[in-house]
Structure 1
Amino acid sequence: MTDTYIHPTATVSPAASIGAGTKVWINVQVREEASIGEGCILSKDVYIDHAVAIGARCKIQNGVSVYNGVTIGDDVFVGPNAAFTNDKVPRAFNADWTITSTRLENGCSIGANSTIVCGITIGEFAMVAAGSVVTRDVPPYTLVVGNPARPVAKIDEAGNRVGPV
């Protein structure tokens, strides 16, 4: 595996862990205690919040912010400008604020401009179509589309449709 690459414009906390062979591109910020696995790609303008865990061989595309409370498994793809939330009741100031966790299981794929509402799990090798708004768990090997996202097909590990839901 090649060496880790961090672009000169990236800001990576010395308290973050970056796996071997990972590439951190232009204007990326990786905060303290974040853990990025081996062989990942963090594309332009990605923000990784503190204590976020990302597995190996993940590709996080341009303009994605991954907030505290989001855990990403291995071999996950997150398309450009996908949005994650971590607060069920967002307010500018809230003394009772708590993080609501979200989990992306191994091999899943999140389409461009999708919104993933916190508190859910995207199952193994599931696929979220571009522009979808995911408000509930997505079962493994399932394609979801729309707003709110709804299951439309069973898929294989390559994302090919293999049958009805």
Structure 2
Amino acid sequence: MVYAESGIGSGTVIGHHTLLRTGVFVGNDTQLGHHLCIERASRIGSQVRCSPGSHITSSTRLADRVFLGAGVRTIDDKTLTWRDPHRQPILLAPRFDTGAKVGTGSVILAGVTIGADALVGAGSLVTRDIPPRALAYGHPAEVHGEAP
């Protein structure tokens, strides 16, 4: 299902039971697998692949040629505040720079940037920025060298 005010580039394919909320824009020649949820105001570049079962939180940015494995979760709430009249939530969407790759089952926390051509191993918990061309993995993810 595609909500209002969204745009989908030419050559892009979308799997069944995938949801694009209001204001989501997807570039050309992108593949969005089945059972994805892409929250409002997110931007997905061209030649991106999002594997099945992933959740892309609101306002997330995926640059061109990003690859997300199955079941990747992104988080934008730094304070876990919801409907508390005494606190305002701090929402910071993650960002994925050109050519970044994230393995299956990884969780990317609020405000984190995955650098250009970086590789995050499967099942990682990314709590801080990953530099360009870095190989990172673990719980929490740490840099272990350069991406192949």
Interval containing the TM-score (normalised by the shorter chain): over 0.9
Contact preservation (8 Å) 2:40, 2:59: no
Question: Hey, which bits of structure 1, 4+ residues long, moved more than 2 A?
Answer: 91-95
CA distance in 2, matches of 1:83, 1:13: 21
Give the alignment partner of residue 98 of structure 1, picking from 74, 77, 90.
90
Matched, 1:124 2:119: no
CA distance in 1, matches of 2:4, 2:127: 35
Equivalent residue runs for 1:1-165 within 5 Å: 11-95=1-85, 96-155=88-147, 160=148
Higher mean Cα deviation, 81-90 or 95-104? 95-104
Secondary structure of the residue aligned to 1:62 is coil
Q: Which stretches in structure 2 are left out of the alignment for 5+ residues?
A: none
Counterpart amino acid of 2:144?
Answer: V
CA distance in 1, matches of 2:121, 2:19: 26
The count of aligned residue pairs is: 146
Secondary structure of the residue aligned to 2:105 is coil
Contact preservation (8 Å) 2:96, 2:115: yes
Counterpart amino acid of 1:20?
Answer: S
Q: Percent identity?
A: 29
Contact preservation (8 Å) 2:74, 2:110: yes
Counterpart amino acid of 1:74?
Answer: D
The two structures have a TM-score, normalised by structure 2, of 0.95
CA distance in 2, matches of 1:28, 1:114: 19
Displacement, 1:92? 4.0
Contact preservation (8 Å) 1:68, 1:99: no
Counterpart amino acid of 2:24?
Answer: A
- Deviation per CA, 1:112-150, whole angstroms, max 9, x where unpaired? 000101111110000000000000100000000100101
Structure number with larger C-alpha Rg: 1
Which structure ranks higher in relative contact order (CA pairs < 8 Å, sequence separation ≥ 6)? 2
Counterpart amino acid of 2:117?
Answer: F
The two structures have a TM-score, normalised by structure 1, of 0.85
- Deviation per CA, 1:86-128, whole angstroms, max 9, x where unpaired? 0011144234123212110000001000010111111000000
Q: Which stretches in structure 1 are left out of the alignment for 5+ residues?
A: 1-10, 161-165
CA distance in 2, matches of 1:94, 1:143: 39
